[in-house]
């Protein structure tokens, strides 16, 4: 494998494809193995299960293995792509039950996607003409960032989200350089896929579309109208797949559950959850816009302290080189960050640390761009009679900028001590990236800035509070007990009524998933309205401190007294103290007769 | 808005042979047997008429026997013209018995009256059809009367007087009107076909005779000429069929030996005054009778299979309607998904590498003139006097030495005005006028075949008279052939439109062409699968072209057929990085006609090559075979199926009828979802990308609206399917000269790899420009500005 030859730098559309870049794939594969090891250690070894990851697996599980398997069972509260990626792994659970029992399918997906995200970064470095050492260094500092490792290993949707964002960033950078429609189209598709992972991609998409329109209009030739037309055409190419994903998902949601954006309106959605936790959020993030913004900024610098330095450097290099490529990741990944800050300020967000994770790929992308612009000696993209090539990257507003201006102060500077200057700048970039690693590791254990991660990571800390560790490790212990209890009865299909949104770990755990009637089943309402007629023998009721679910919504006093038609069969205590539920048990009721009003 | 004018000398548009009565008769026989079979099945299984069941089965089996006896067992010499009458009346009688036994006018089998009347109308003279139709109406009434209580029949005690109540009377009246109207329509529709049947039958027989005596002669000498079986498509031409393609005493080329001296070369391949070329007679060695022609749309075997499948399906539908319809919906959806996935993959492959074989200008000019081979340009033209000037100007702009050019202007014998214009304007010996004598099918491929026999060039290409090839195209083609491996027999230049900005339709059309020639065809080339060629600007090695039998004069997209045939015989096609500008069809009605002809041609091509699927599979390999079906077959297929699936989807979303849920159950539903979302979006997005890949960003806005274009395509595809069955070789005329521009040729200045419509749009554009595929021969006299008076 040769590091990207000269032809790889500014490959105009239509030139023969380069030989397959196997180096980056190999590195990514090796990293993937490492991530997998961490994932196995965290999830299977230390027993770290994360509800959000587990519930995505459950959504996939409902599609294929529930009593009523159908596509819409994936649910519309959370975007479907992580579950869809997990679905093909689930049949393997027959051989390896942990895929569903421990939700390890989610970890597999996050491992693979994060490794591929690193590959994207390596490919970006190659396309930018970075030497092998530099691009591996940048990629490594991204790949070994504690947030990257943790979210590669823990099965959350951040893995695929970052993969698709990096894909889009790489293609947009390519488009800025070459104007290749293929790059633009691929960027649009990647943005669409990113949206199908997380809603935040909406911001990335809008940012990218806006910037692409401006750049295209700026760069087009002809009259004003022609330039606007050209910009609109490029914006359509970029936005069509993205809008298709946004619109298609909203349409499907609207057709099936009657609401295009469930996460904002559903009782299970983000808005509802944030509303319930508003007090707790405020106590952590502070009150008032200023305090909250400061909180978010501390989080940002906590995981990527070098981002300001790198941002300034890449902007400076861009100005000197007349290269605007750095704006592309800024618009996209910066859009994601801005979105999370906006959500926090308007009280729509938990203000988790992971909402700042876009800063990690942003810094890495900027670092790659800055290093490419510095043209260090030894890198294939370095100067050495290759001024033209570099100009081909530049925003070609004033025509090629070869020669003339470089004879000014810059050439003198170059001849004097400028061999050192780029190296110093490069060192700053690399150091800033590297400095983030220990800082982020510390931040992630900070109970104020990192309310989620610090708790979860207690499972790997030697000096952690044993109660916290137990809370994390036995978070879903109740469900294992319920599963064991129910499986012993060998109930027929549809004998247990449960709300899938809260009881998902149980359904993943049970050897007999078809015994449950869950919210995604198309006859759930029927079973809920008349449990005894439907053949329901048991009803599982979450403790009344939790968010209202469908069952308690229908039978308000069921958890407390059986609502007059059911008798308590068993109780399963929880350890989760997060929302004041500590000790309150899940209850399993046995149905005696027809429910009142059914 | 447009200048749709028809020249007073407009030829009969029916230039191809119509469906012969033989085809229709076969169709009728198959349909009646299939109907009887499905009736037997539904009677036997449904048990809806228990007391009459055995009688019904007996009658139905007797009817089937009757059909076989009448159609197959009666010796030819015993056939009289009354036999069909007897057959028809017996059929009506049997239907009456069945109808009477199954409940009168409400019986499902009453539809057989309609079939009988239409069958007679399609295949028999009007008087006979009238008798059968009248008998059908009478039978319908009779059946109802019996069922309503004729004395002596089981079931109902009968009062003759009471048999018609209001509802029954209404049903009877509607039935009678339906029978009469449809029979009349069928009779009128088939009149043209019947009228030309005599000629067609003659040719059929004479060919049979030729086939017999070819045996001994085959060993002695090779048949000269291009061996497409001839058939007289134009009855006005009388005995002159038999195209001599050889000359100098050679035997006639076509299989019309039976017509004797008439068939010898009718002296006049060359216009008076033209020097005879010095090359000797071509003796084309052909394996082409091994690959069939579209002269017959359905082969006998295909018809039998079709009939078996059809009757099996009919019976199955009668037995288990929902299950079978569900399977049908599932396979339709699966095929749709296969076609769209293949097309998308193919598009992307071409999109990633649109011009792998680009040849720059310097390389193209590098070959010294002396080393260039003689290049033949075939220009088939009919009634295009106005564009001869444009053509000669385009030829002048070609950077190719005159003495190496061999331009053959192929003009029909009756086209005086073009002859006159050619005489006036031809300014050098490099242009020859070849007069196509009447006799063969009056089609572009036929003219090209004849032109090929006198071609001198090592390479051959086709331009339409109004084409504007890029000046370096021939030189690029020469370089491309030199670079390519020996098995590359054809390079296809891109076709683009110069009037893309005229209206929305031309914009869509231009985008579609951009996609076709920049992305889809290159994708096929990368995959080494059969490439259906575009209508003009395809460049061939002449030796190979002759060896594979050149163009099929009966196929209405002979170019696509030729591309597939080349592939079958082991030759490959490459794309040429050069552009020819044409005129896009700007009128919707006209566009539909043109498009339906292309779809029909693709269906013809698919059917022709599928006559022996096993052999096709061996010759093309599994990849080529699949690609051929998915691409050549898939193109019309997807347009045909689109409206069905769209309607079903829309219906489902709005009405939510349970039967659609039954049809699209389980996996089929998801497949349908993939087809609907994935298929429509990927086509839409591919269109947007192709539009953006042109030099006119504005086209992207038209691309967003392309679903409307698809709807028009579906209309054309439906029309094509109907025509394929009713009039397989009917050549839809395409009107030219709709681009409203004065007849001045604007040079094609397009650099390779650019779309030039914007450049040309501002310039005065050529007048009567042709449609892509078969412009001249079938055109109704292109309405150039010269005809302004009309």
CB count within 10 Å of CB A351 equals 24
Q: Single out the residue of A17, A187, A123, A174 nearest to residue B354, CA to CA.
A: A17
Tokens of B407: 């331009």
A51 domain residue, yes or no: no
Q: Single out the residue of B184, B169, B172, B78 nearest to residue B129, CA to CA.
A: B184
Q: Which domain holds residue A442?
A: 267-382+416-464
Q: Single out the residue of A199, A306, A201 nearest to residue A262, CA to CA.
A: A199
**Which one has a higher pLDDT value, B89 or B221?**
B89
CB count within 10 Å of CB A41 equals 13
Same domain, A512 and A552: yes
Structural contact between residues B613 and B733, judged by C-beta atoms closer than 8 angstroms: no
Q: What is the pLDDT of residue A236?
A: 95
pLDDT, average across residues B675-697 = 90
User: Which has the minimum average pLDDT: A108-122, A246-260, A485-499, B222-236?
Assistant: B222-236
Chain B residues close to A233, C-beta within 8 Å: 691-692, 697-701
How far apart, in whole angstroms, are the C-alpha atoms of residue A239 and residue B672?
25
Last residue of one domain, picked from the residues B163, B198, B233 = B198
Q: What is the pLDDT of residue B292?
A: 65
Same domain, A432 and A308: yes
Same domain, A332 and A375: yes
Confidence of residue A105 (pLDDT cuts 50, 70, 90): very high
Count of the separate structural domains present in chain B? 2
pLDDT, average across residues B403-422 = 89
B158 domain residue, yes or no: yes
Same domain, B154 and B282: no
Task: Give the strands of the sheet with B538-541, arranged side by side.
Answer: B431-436, B405-412, B375-381, B459-462, B538-541, B488-497, B572-582, B468-469
In the A/B pair of chains, how many CB contacts fall below 8 A? 55
Quick: pLDDT tens for B340-360.
999 999 999 988 887 777 888
Quick: pLDDT tens for A164-173.
999 999 999 9
Kindly give the pairing relationship between strand A566-572 and strand A586-591: antiparallel
User: Which has the minimum average pLDDT: A100-109, B18-27, B93-102, B603-612?
Assistant: B18-27
Same domain, B528 and B411: yes
Same domain, B317 and B191: no
Q: What is the pLDDT of residue A577?
A: 53
Quick: pLDDT tens for B613-654.
888 888 888 889 999 999 999 999 999 988 888 888 887 777
User: Which has the minimum average pLDDT: A584-598, B128-142, B718-732?
Assistant: B718-732
Residue B677 at interface with chain A, using a CB cutoff of 8 Å: yes
A233/B698 Cβ within 8 A: yes
Q: What is the pLDDT of residue A246?
A: 93
pLDDT, average across residues B20-31 = 69
Is 70 exceeded by the pLDDT of residue B270? no
Structural contact between residues A135 and A125, judged by C-beta atoms closer than 8 angstroms: yes
Burial class (CB in 10 A: 0-12, 13-18, 19+), A501: buried
Last residue of one domain, picked from the residues A464, A499, A527 = A464
CB count within 10 Å of CB A505 equals 25
Confidence of residue B406 (pLDDT cuts 50, 70, 90): very high
Q: What is the pLDDT of residue B97?
A: 85
B689/A237 Cβ within 8 A: yes
Same domain, B153 and B287: no
CB count within 10 Å of CB B62 equals 14
Chain A residues close to B697, C-beta within 8 Å: 220, 226, 229-230, 232-234
Is 80 exceeded by the pLDDT of residue B312? no
Q: Single out the residue of B265, B173, B203, B215 nearest to residue B450, CA to CA.
A: B265
Q: What is the pLDDT of residue B627?
A: 92
Query: A10 CA to chain B: closest CA distance, Å?
Result: 16
Of A16, A182, A244, the CB nearest to B681: A244
Same domain, B292 and B394: yes
Q: Cβ neighbours of residue B73 under 8 Å, at least 6 residues apart?
A: none
Q: Cβ neighbours of residue A581 under 8 Å, at least 6 residues apart?
A: A543, A545, A546, A574
Chain A residues close to B753, C-beta within 8 Å: 14
Q: What is the pLDDT of residue B437?
A: 83
The phi and psi torsions of B556 (rounded to 5 degrees) equal -80, -10
Query: B354 CA to chain A: closest CA distance, Å?
Result: 6
B688/A240 Cβ within 8 A: yes
Same domain, B742 and B639: yes
B692/A248 Cβ within 8 A: no
Most distant CA pair in chain B, distance: 99
B679 domain residue, yes or no: yes
Chain A residues close to B689, C-beta within 8 Å: 181, 185, 237
B226 domain residue, yes or no: no
Structural contact between residues A521 and A68, judged by C-beta atoms closer than 8 angstroms: yes
Same domain, A478 and A460: no
Task: Measure Cα distances from A52 to A71, A158, A183, A452, A577 in Å.
Answer: 20, 11, 33, 12, 17
Classify each residue of A142-173 as buried b or exposed e, where b means 16 or more C-beta atoms within 10 Å of its C-beta.
Answer: bbebbbbbbbbbbbbbbbbbbbbbbbbbbbbb
Query: A180 CA to chain B: closest CA distance, Å?
Result: 9
CB proximity under 8 Å: B 698-757 to A: 698-701, 704, 753
Same domain, A456 and A561: no
Which chain A residue is nearest to residue B670, measuring alpha carbons?
A: A71
Structural contact between residues B382 and B779, judged by C-beta atoms closer than 8 angstroms: yes
Same domain, B280 and B186: no
Chain B residues close to A236, C-beta within 8 Å: 688, 692, 700-701, 704
Same domain, B477 and B619: yes
Q: What is the pLDDT of residue B766?
A: 33
Q: A240, A246, A250: which to substitute to probe chain B, counting the most B Cβ within 10 Å?
A: A240
CA dihedral B712, B717, B719, B722 (to 10 degrees): -160
Query: A363 CA to chain B: closest CA distance, Å?
Result: 30
Q: B575, B664, B700: which to substitute to probe chain A, counting the most A Cβ within 10 Å?
A: B700
Confidence of residue B283 (pLDDT cuts 50, 70, 90): very low
DSSP of A522-568: TTHHHHHH-HHHHT--EEEE--TTSPP-HHHHHSTTHHHHGGGTEEE
B225 domain residue, yes or no: no
Of A16, A185, A240, the CB nearest to B356: A16
Same domain, B427 and B574: yes
Is 50 exceeded by the pLDDT of residue A96? yes
A249 domain residue, yes or no: no
Q: For all residues of chain B together, what is the average pLDDT?
A: 72
Last residue of one domain, picked from the residues A429, A445, A464 = A464
Structural contact between residues A272 and A266, judged by C-beta atoms closer than 8 angstroms: yes
Q: What is the pLDDT of residue B384?
A: 82
Of A181, A220, A229, the CB nearest to B693: A181
Kindly give the pairing relationship between strand B538-541 and strand B459-462: antiparallel
Of A71, A185, A229, the CB nearest to B698: A229
Q: Cβ neighbours of residue B407 under 8 Å, at least 6 residues apart?
A: B376, B377, B379, B395, B430, B431, B432
Same domain, A335 and A427: yes
pLDDT, average across residues B400-417 = 89
Query: A232 CA to chain B: closest CA distance, Å?
Result: 8
Which single residue is written with the structure tokens 């005894």?
A532
Which single residue is written with the structure tokens 């508003």?
A278
A255/B701 Cβ within 8 A: no
Last residue of one domain, picked from the residues A430, A464, A498 = A464
CB count within 10 Å of CB B37 equals 20
Quick: pLDDT tens for B343-402.
999 999 988 887 777 888 888 898 898 889 999 999 998 888 888 888 888 888 999 998
Chain A residues close to B685, C-beta within 8 Å: 185, 240-241, 244
For helices B321-352 and B634-654, the axis angle rounded to 10 degrees is 120
Same domain, A452 and A478: no
Q: A12, A14, A255: which to substitute to probe chain B, counting the most B Cβ within 10 Å?
A: A14
Of B355, B677, B699, the CB nearest to A14: B355
Same domain, B637 and B535: yes
Count of the separate structural domains present in chain A? 2
DSSP of A490-503: -PPTT-EE--HHHH
List B255's β-bridge partners, or say none. none
List B575's β-bridge partners, or say none. B492
Tokens of B705: 């609206």
Q: What is the pLDDT of residue A410?
A: 61
Q: What is the pLDDT of residue A413?
A: 57
A501 domain residue, yes or no: yes
Report the SS3 class of residue B378. strand
Same domain, B310 and B189: no
Is 90 exceeded by the pLDDT of residue B110? no
Q: What is the pLDDT of residue A184?
A: 95
A221 domain residue, yes or no: no
B597 domain residue, yes or no: yes
Q: Which domain holds residue B739?
A: 270-790
Q: What is the pLDDT of residue A412?
A: 62
Task: Give the strands of the sheet with A538-541, arranged side by side.
Answer: A516-517, A496-497, A538-541, A586-591, A566-572
CB count within 10 Å of CB A431 equals 13
**Which one has a higher pLDDT value, B260 or A466?**
A466
How far apart, in whole angstroms, are the C-alpha atoms of residue A109 and residue A83?
9
Last residue of one domain, picked from the residues B166, B198, B230 = B198
Chain B residues close to A80, C-beta within 8 Å: none
Quick: pLDDT tens for B658-672.
777 777 777 788 888
B431 domain residue, yes or no: yes
Residue B651 at interface with chain A, using a CB cutoff of 8 Å: no
A232/B691 Cβ within 8 A: no
Last residue of one domain, picked from the residues B152, B171, B198 = B198
Q: For all residues of chain A together, what is the average pLDDT?
A: 84
A76 domain residue, yes or no: no
Same domain, A376 and A455: yes
How far apart, in whole angstroms, are the C-alpha atoms of residue B29 and residue A217?
66
% of chain B exceeding 70 in pLDDT? 70
Which single residue is written with the structure tokens 């031409």?
B237
Is 70 exceeded by the pLDDT of residue A593? yes
Task: Measure Cα distances from B138 to A331, A515, B87, B113, B144 in Å.
Answer: 80, 65, 16, 10, 10
Same domain, A452 and A541: no
Structural contact between residues A69 and A62, judged by C-beta atoms closer than 8 angstroms: yes
B685/A244 Cβ within 8 A: yes
Quick: pLDDT tens for B455-474.
999 999 999 888 899 999 99
A73 domain residue, yes or no: no
Query: B687 CA to chain A: closest CA distance, Å?
Result: 10
Same domain, A355 and A440: yes
CB proximity under 8 Å: B 684-703 to A: 684-685, 688-689, 691-693, 697-701
The enclosing domain of A501 has a CATH number of 3.40.190
Burial class (CB in 10 A: 0-12, 13-18, 19+), A44: middle
User: With helix as H, strand as E and coil as C, how does A211-272 read?
Assistant: HHHHHHHHHCCCCHHHHHHHHHHHHHHHHHHHHHHHHHHHHHHHHHHCCCCHHHHCCCCHHH
Quick: pLDDT tens for A538-569.
999 888 777 668 888 888 888 888 888 888 88
Same domain, B423 and B503: yes
Same domain, A541 and A452: no
Interface of A with B (CB under 8 A): 14, 16-17, 71, 181-182, 185, 220, 226, 229-230, 232-234, 236-237, 240-241, 244, 248, 255
Same domain, A439 and A328: yes
The enclosing domain of B394 has a CATH number of 3.90.550.10
B689/A185 Cβ within 8 A: yes
% of chain A exceeding 90 in pLDDT? 48
Of B653, B700, B753, the CB nearest to A236: B700
Q: What is the pLDDT of residue A190?
A: 96
Confidence of residue A414 (pLDDT cuts 50, 70, 90): low
Residue B352 at interface with chain A, using a CB cutoff of 8 Å: yes
CB proximity under 8 Å: B 400-419 to A: none
Tokens of B491: 């390079």
Of B353, B354, B692, the CB nearest to A233: B692
Chain A residues close to B673, C-beta within 8 Å: 71
B262 domain residue, yes or no: no
Q: What is the pLDDT of residue B208?
A: 30
Quick: pLDDT tens for B502-546.
889 999 999 999 999 999 999 999 888 999 998 889 999 999 998
**Which one has a higher pLDDT value, B111 or A100?**
A100
pLDDT, average across residues B235-246 = 30
How far apart, in whole angstroms, are the C-alpha atoms of residue B461 and residue B484?
17
List B438's β-bridge partners, or say none. B440
């Amino acid at each position: 494998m040769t590091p990207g030859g000269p032809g790889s730098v500014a490959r105009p559309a239509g030139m023969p494809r380069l030989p397959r870049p196997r180096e980056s794939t190999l590195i990514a594969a090796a990293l993937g193995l490492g991530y997998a090891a961490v994932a196995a250690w965290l999830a299977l070894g230390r027993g770290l299960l994360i509800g959000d990851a587990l519930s995505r697996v459950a959504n996939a599980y409902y599609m294929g293995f529930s009593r009523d398997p159908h596509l819409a069972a994936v649910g519309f509260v959370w975007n479907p792509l992580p579950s869809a990626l997990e679905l093909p792994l689930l049949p393997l659970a027959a051989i390896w039950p942990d895929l569903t029992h421990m939700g390890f399918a989610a970890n597999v997906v996050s491992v693979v996607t994060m490794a591929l995200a690193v590959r994207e970064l390596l490919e970006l470095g190659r396309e930018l003409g970075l030497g092998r050492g530099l691009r591996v260094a940048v990629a490594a500092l991204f790949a070994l960032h504690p947030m990257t490792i943790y979210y590669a290993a823990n099965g959350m949707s951040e893995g695929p989200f970052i993969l698709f964002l990096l894909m889009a960033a790489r293609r947009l950078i390519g488009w800025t350089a070459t104007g290749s429609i293929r790059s633009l189209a691929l960027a649009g598709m990647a943005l669409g896929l990113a949206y199908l992972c997380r809603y935040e991609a909406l911001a990335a998409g809008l940012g990218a579309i806006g910037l692409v329109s401006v750049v295209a209009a700026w760069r087009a030739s002809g009259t004003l109208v022609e330039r606007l037309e050209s910009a609109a055409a490029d914006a359509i190419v970029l936005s069509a797949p993205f809008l298709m994903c946004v619109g298609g998902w909203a349409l499907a949601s609207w057709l099936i559950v009657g609401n295009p954006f469930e996460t904002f309106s559903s009782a299970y959605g983000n808005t509802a959850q944030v509303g319930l936790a508003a007090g707790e959020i405020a106590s952590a993030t502070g009150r008032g816009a200023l305090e909250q913004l400061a909180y978010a900024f501390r989080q940002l610098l906590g995981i990527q302290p070098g981002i300001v330095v790198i941002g300034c450097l890449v902007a400076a290099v861009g100005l000197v080189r007349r290269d605007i490529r750095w704006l592309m990741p800024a618009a996209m990944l910066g859009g994601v960050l801005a979105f999370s800050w906006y959500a926090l300020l308007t009280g729509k967000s938990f203000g988790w640390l992971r909402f700042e994770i876009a800063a990690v790929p942003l810094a890495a992308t900027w670092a790659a761009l800055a290093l490419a612009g510095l043209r260090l000696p030894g890198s294939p993209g370095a100067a050495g009679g290759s001024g033209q090539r570099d100009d081909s990257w530049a925003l070609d507003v004033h025509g090629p900028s070869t020669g003339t201006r470089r004879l000014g102060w810059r050439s003198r500077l170059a001849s004097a001590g400028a061999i050192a200057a780029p190296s110093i700048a490069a060192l700053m970039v690399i150091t800033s990236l590297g400095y983030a690693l220990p800082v982020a590791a510390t931040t992630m254990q900070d109970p104020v800035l990192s309310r989620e991660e610090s708790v979860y990571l207690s499972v790997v800390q030697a000096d952690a509070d044993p109660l916290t560790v137990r809370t994390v490790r036995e978070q879903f212990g109740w469900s294992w007990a319920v599963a064991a209890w129910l499986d012993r009865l060998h109930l027929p299909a549809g004998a247990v009524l449960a709300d899938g949104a809260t009881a998902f770990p149980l359904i993943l755990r049970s050897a007999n998933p078809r015994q449950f009637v869950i919210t995604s089943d198309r006859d759930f309402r029927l079973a809920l309205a008349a449990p005894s007629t439907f053949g329901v023998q048991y009803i599982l009721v979450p403790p009344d401190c939790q968010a209202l679910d469908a069952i308690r919504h229908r039978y308000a006093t069921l958890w407390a007294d059986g609502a007059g038609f059911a008798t308590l069969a068993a109780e399963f205590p929880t350890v989760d103290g997060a929302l004041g539920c500590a000790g309150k048990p899940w209850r399993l009721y046995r149905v005696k007769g027809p429910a009142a009003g059914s | 808005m447009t200048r749709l004018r028809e020249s007073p000398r407009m030829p009969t548009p029916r230039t191809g042979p119509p469906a012969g009565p033989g085809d229709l008769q076969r169709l009728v026989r198959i349909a009646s047997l299939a109907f009887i079979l499905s009736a037997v099945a539904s009677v036997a299984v449904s048990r809806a008429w228990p007391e009459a069941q055995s009688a019904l089965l007996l009658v139905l089996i007797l009817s089937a026997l009757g059909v076989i006896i009448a159609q197959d067992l009666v010796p030819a010499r015993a056939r009289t013209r009354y036999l069909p009458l007897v057959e028809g009346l017996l059929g009506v009688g049997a239907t009456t018995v069945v109808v009477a036994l199954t409940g009168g006018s409400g019986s499902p089998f009453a539809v057989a009256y309609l079939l009988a009347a239409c069958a007679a109308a399609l295949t028999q003279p009007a008087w006979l059809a009238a008798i059968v139709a009248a008998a059908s109406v009478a039978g319908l009434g009779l059946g109802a009367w019996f069922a309503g209580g004729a004395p002596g029949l089981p079931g109902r005690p009968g009062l003759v007087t009471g048999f018609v109540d209001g509802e029954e009377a209404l049903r009877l009246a509607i039935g009678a009107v339906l029978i009469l109207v449809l029979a009349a329509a069928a009779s009128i529709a088939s009149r043209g076909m019947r009228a030309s049947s005599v000629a067609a039958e003659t040719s059929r027989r004479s060919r049979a005779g030729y086939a017999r005596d070819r045996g001994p002669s085959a060993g002695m000498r090779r048949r000269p000429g291009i061996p497409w079986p001839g058939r007289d498509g134009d009855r006005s031409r009388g005995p002159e069929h038999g195209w001599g393609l050889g000359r100098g005493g050679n035997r006639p080329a076509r299989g019309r030996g039976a017509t004797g001296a008439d068939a010898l070369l009718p002296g006049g391949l060359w216009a008076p005054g033209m020097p005879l070329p010095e090359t000797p007679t071509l003796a084309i060695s052909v394996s082409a009778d091994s690959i069939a022609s579209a002269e017959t749309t359905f082969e006998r075997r295909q018809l039998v299979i079709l009939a078996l499948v059809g009757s099996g399906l009919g019976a199955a539908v009668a037995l288990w309607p929902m299950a079978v319809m569900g399977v049908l919906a599932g396979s339709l959806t699966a095929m749709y998904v296969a076609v769209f996935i293949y097309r998308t993959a193919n598009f992307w492959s071409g999109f990633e590498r649109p011009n792998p074989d680009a040849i720059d200008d310097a390389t193209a000019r590098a070959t010294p003139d002396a080393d260039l081979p003689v290049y033949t340009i075939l220009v088939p033209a009919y009634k295009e006097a106005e564009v001869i000037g444009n053509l000669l100007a385009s030829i002048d702009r070609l950077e190719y030495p005159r003495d190496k050019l061999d331009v053959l202007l192929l003009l029909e014998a009756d086209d005086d005005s073009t002859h006159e214009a050619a005489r006036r304007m031809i300014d050098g010996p490099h242009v020859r006028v070849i007069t196509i004598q009447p006799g063969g099918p009056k089609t572009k491929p036929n003219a090209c075949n004849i032109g090929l026999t006198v071609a001198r060039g090592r390479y051959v290409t086709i331009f339409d008279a109004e084409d504007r090839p890029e000046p370096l195209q021939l030189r690029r083609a020469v370089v491309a052939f030199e670079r390519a491996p020996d098995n590359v027999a054809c390079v296809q230049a891109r076709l683009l439109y110069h009037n893309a900005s005229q209206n929305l339709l031309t914009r869509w059309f231009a985008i579609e062409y951009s996609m076709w020639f920049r992305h889809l065809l290159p994708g096929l080339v990368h995959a080494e699968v059969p490439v259906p060629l575009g209508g003009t600007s395809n460049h061939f090695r002449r030796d190979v072209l002759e060896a594979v039998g050149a163009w099929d004069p009966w196929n209405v997209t002979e170019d696509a057929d030729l591309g597939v045939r080349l592939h079958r015989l082991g030759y490959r096609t490459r794309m040429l990085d050069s552009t020819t500008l044409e005129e896009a069809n700007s009128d919707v009605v006209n566009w539909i006609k043109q498009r339906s002809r292309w779809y029909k041609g693709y269906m013809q091509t698919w059917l022709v090559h599928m006559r022996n699927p096993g052999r096709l599979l061996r010759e093309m390999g599994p990849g080529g075979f699949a690609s051929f079906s998915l691409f050549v077959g898939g193109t019309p297929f997807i347009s045909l199926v689109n409206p069905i699936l769209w309607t079903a989807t829309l219906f489902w979303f709005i009405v939510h009828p349970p039967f659609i849920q039954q049809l699209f159950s389980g996996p089929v539903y998801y497949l349908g979802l993939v087809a609907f979302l994935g298929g429509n979006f990927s086509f839409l997005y591919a269109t947007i990308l192709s539009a953006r890949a042109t030099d006119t960003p504005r086209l992207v806005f038209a691309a967003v609206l392309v679903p409307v274009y698809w709807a028009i395509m579906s209309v054309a595809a439906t029309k094509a399917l109907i025509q394929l069955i009713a009039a397989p070789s009917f050549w839809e005329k395409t009107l030219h000269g709709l681009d409203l521009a004065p007849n001045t040729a604007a040079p094609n200045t397009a650099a390779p790899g650019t779309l030039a419509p914007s450049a040309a749009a501002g310039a005065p554009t050529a007048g009567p420009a042709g449609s892509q595929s078969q412009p001249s021969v079938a055109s109704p006299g292109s309405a150039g500005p010269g005809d302004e008076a009309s």
